[in-house]
Amino acid sequence: MANSSLLLYCLGHRRFSPSFRSFFFIPTCLALFTSLIIIFYISTTSILFSGHLHPSTVRLKPHLSSGSSSNTQENIPLPLHNDSKTPLVLFPRISPLEKNDDGGYKSQRSSKLQSVFNGIYVNDEVFHDRDIFLEDYKQMNRSFKIYVYPHRRDDPFANALLPVDFEPGGNYASESYFKKILMKSHFITKDPTKADLFFLPFSIARLRHDPRIGVGGIQDFIRDYIFNISHKYPYWNRTGGADHFYVACHSIGRSAMEKAEDVKFNAIQVVCSSSYFLSGHIAHKDASLPQVWPRQEDPPNLTSSKRKKLAFFAGSINSPVRERLLQVWRNDSEISVHFGRLTTPYADKLLGSKFCLHVKGFEVNTARIADSLYYGCVPVIIANHYDLPFTDVLNWKSFSVVVATLDIPLLKKILKAISSNKYRMLQNNVLKVRKHFQWHVPPVDYDAFYMVIYELWLRRSSVRVS
């Protein structure tokens, strides 16, 4: 200790030669000079050092559509203001989809402007990028192929491996609808060498009700099924199942793969109970299947509905989140929370409320989001870690409100803070997206079937294994 103190004392009082001091002085000056140049450059090119912005105009040249014959471009005046209540910067955005004569959509660019409020980019469009989606959608319809492992009608488990021969119904109908529609679609190929993906056609919902299997035997069935196809066909072993997928809507599906880990970690899991919190769910590899209670009739006439209630929820108490909701809002006059059987029709409650609550129960998913959209009610999602359906494509912030479970006591404050203009935007977008949450036999462009197929198309491998 004494030696180190002596060394520090000597260094502190030693006088260095002028040449030695200049060795440190020159790089120090260079560093200081460089810093001054950087600061000067930033101050002249950035608004960070500006006291205010002078009103000015930016001229934007809009993109012309490919079909336009005009060679002229119209400049769009774009005012810039320093008032925080008005847009600071404006960007061009794509106009809403327009319907073709065949009921589809065409992409069109317009001169509508999108805003940045208080430095935050506001996207009120239902798609993240509709142009990309539309181009991908066309390519998907032209080229995407799926091979389904074949099973005969006299197979002992044909009831779980083949499509149902009736109209699916109930809470978990999405699983049956997808397989029923897929098997008759143009995406099916009988030639496995042309397949982009391979479908594992077992039905978790059907196996659950099969007395030979039941809930306790599903894991063994899946393990044996994978063993059989991996020994009978070469396709599973080429990729370890990475180009295979299965579809399940019942919550038991999340534990059905415990004895088939290659399915859980390699294959694409298209499931309703898609939660980031579950170790078996891998975002961007797996996809979320929308849980939809099927309705055959057309959506109601929403122009005549009067929404007097601020928010509505009805359901059983099967989670701490719902217990908390009941505890806080049970006797509120503006937020209607019901547990047990309703005395009025469920549809009337949805039509009479501005916001409809989707609250986590045993799982993050329920059919309430699709119910809300069907009846034109803006969904409020109170389900932490929910990997929402079609989130690769749809901008959920443009047609729903997400509230953390811890913020349930602040629910009324959050909803009342939404301006009338923003609510109109949310509800208008609800009417635009609800077609994506409906099943049809045969399928209709952009409905739930085609959206799930698109999610699968995004997850196909770009290199086909031979």
| Residue pLDDT tens, the chain, 466 long | 555 554 444 445 555 555 555 556 677 778 888 888 877 766 665 444 444 433 333 333 333 333 333 333 334 343 434 443 433 333 333 344 444 444 444 444 333 435 454 555 567 899 999 999 999 999 999 999 999 999 999 999 999 999 999 999 988 999 999 999 999 999 999 999 999 999 999 999 999 999 999 999 999 999 999 999 999 999 999 999 999 999 999 888 778 899 999 999 999 999 998 998 877 888 889 999 999 999 877 777 675 568 999 999 999 998 999 999 999 999 999 999 998 888 889 999 999 999 999 999 988 999 999 999 999 999 999 999 999 999 999 999 999 999 999 999 999 999 999 999 999 999 999 999 999 999 999 999 999 999 999 999 999 975 555 5
pLDDT of res. 395: 97
Look at the block and give the residue holding tokens 């409905």: 447
pLDDT of res. 279: 77
Sign of CA dihedral 309, 311, 314, 316: negative
> Other CB atoms closer than 10 Å to residue 116's CB: what's the count?
13
> Other CB atoms closer than 10 Å to residue 95's CB: what's the count?
14
Look at the block and give the residue holding tokens 């099967």: 318
Q: By the 8 A CB rule, do 382 and 368 touch?
A: no
> Other CB atoms closer than 10 Å to residue 104's CB: what's the count?
15
Sign of CA dihedral 50, 56, 59, 60: positive
Who contacts 366 (Cβ-Cβ below 8 Å, separation ≥6)? Answer: 291, 315, 358, 359
Please tell me what DSSP assigns to residue 324: H
Who contacts 99 (Cβ-Cβ below 8 Å, separation ≥6)? Answer: 105, 106
Delimiting residues of CATH 3.40.50.2000 domain(s) in the chain: 302-437
Which one, of 396, 397, 393, 385, lies nearest residue 458 by Cα?
A: 393
pLDDT of res. 13: 52
Q: Counting Cβ atoms within 10 Å, is residue 433 exposed (0-12), middle (13-18) or buried (19+)?
A: buried
Alpha helices per DSSP H over 289-444: 320-329, 346-351, 368-374, 411-416, 420-433
In terms of DSSP bridges, do strands 109-117 and 89-94 run parallel, antiparallel, or are they unpaired? antiparallel
DSSP state letters, 100-153: -TTS-EE--EEEEEEEEETTEE---SSBS-HHHHHHHHHHHHHH--EEE----T
Which one, of 76, 110, 115, lies nearest residue 95 by Cα?
A: 110
Angle at 190 between CA 393 and CA 261, to 5 degrees: 60
CATH 3.40.1260.10 fits 302-437, yes or no: no
Rounded Cα distance between 95 and 365, Å, is 32
